[in-house]
Amino acid sequence: MFKRGQRVAIGASGGKDSTVLAYVLSTLNKRYDYGLDLYLLSIDEGIVGYRDGSLETVKQNSIDYQLPLVIYSYKELFGYTMDEIVTQTLDESGYTKACSYCGVFRRQALNIGAERSHADLIATGHNADDNAETGFFSCLFCNEKSDASLQTASVNDKNREMNQSLCYQKEIVLYAHFKKLLYFSIECSYAKFGYRGNSSFF
């Protein structure tokens, strides 16, 4: 999956999955001398009361794992914060497709951020529950082309390698607790607008 000398951006949100990923990659890189240039790449969506707290966790992870941290914001890249986008897209009933907008912007932000910081690859943390939710979500909306697997792709989306996330969410949490890893566990304030919660419930 990796080649010696590659610069790898670890997508860091401060949550359990990305925190465990950063810890494991950092540990293995040092233990087995993989020769990877690892760093944390974090995206500030501009969600007051949520992202500011998780970024503090990422900053501490950067110190704990001795990994450089690069942060890009929606405001910097796209001219709007997520809070501003939500305010402008709320309908009369108070609903907005916040997660749909954020998902598109976040992926673009990671790609742009990785390219600007000269990454060869982006590594993102997921778990088996994510895969199951995505697969069920795709069935609900008849999306036959959706791929629920973990993707580790080069910045320009070439030579993409696909790996299944085999660890369940509970196992990730147990590992994080066993290793006493610091992670951010508060749910996004806009999660109530997302459809993924429905597939997670089922």
202 residues of the chain, pLDDT tens digit each:
899 999 999 999 999 999 999 999 999 999 999 999 999 999 999 999 999 999 999 999 999 999 999 999 999 999 999 999 999 999 988 899 999 899 999 999 999 999 999 999 999 998 887 777 767 666 766 655 544 444 444 555 533 444 557 899 999 999 999 999 999 999 998 988 875 555 555 5
For the chain, the straight-line distance linking the first and the last C-alpha, in angstroms and rounded, comes to 33
Question: Is 186 marked as binding a ligand?
Answer: no
Question: Is 43 marked as binding a ligand?
Answer: yes
Whether the CB-CB separation of 87 and 190 falls below 8 Å is answered with no
Domains and CATH numbers, the chain: 7-195 (3.40.50.620)
Question: Is 125 marked as binding a ligand?
Answer: yes
pLDDT of residue 92: 86
pLDDT of residue 141: 64
Whether the CB-CB separation of 176 and 19 falls below 8 Å is answered with yes
Question: Is 44 marked as binding a ligand?
Answer: no
CB-side exposure of 5: number of CA atoms within 13 Å? 0
* Spatial separation of the C-alpha atoms in residues 53 and 72, rounded to whole Å: 16
* Side chain identity, residue 190: Y
Whether the CB-CB separation of 152 and 161 falls below 8 Å is answered with yes
Spell out the alpha helix ranges (H) of the chain: 16-31, 51-64, 74-78, 82-89, 98-116, 128-140, 169-178, 196-201
pLDDT of residue 29: 98
pLDDT of residue 51: 94
pLDDT of residue 191: 87
pLDDT of residue 37: 98
* Spatial separation of the C-alpha atoms in residues 64 and 162, rounded to whole Å: 29
* Spatial separation of the C-alpha atoms in residues 54 and 69, rounded to whole Å: 14
Question: Is 11 marked as binding a ligand?
Answer: yes
Whether the CB-CB separation of 114 and 7 falls below 8 Å is answered with no
* Spatial separation of the C-alpha atoms in residues 28 and 93, rounded to whole Å: 50
* Token code pair at residue 8: 């790898």
Question: Is 94 marked as binding a ligand?
Answer: no
Whether the CB-CB separation of 113 and 76 falls below 8 Å is answered with no
Place of tokens 């080069």: 154
Question: Is 148 marked as binding a ligand?
Answer: no
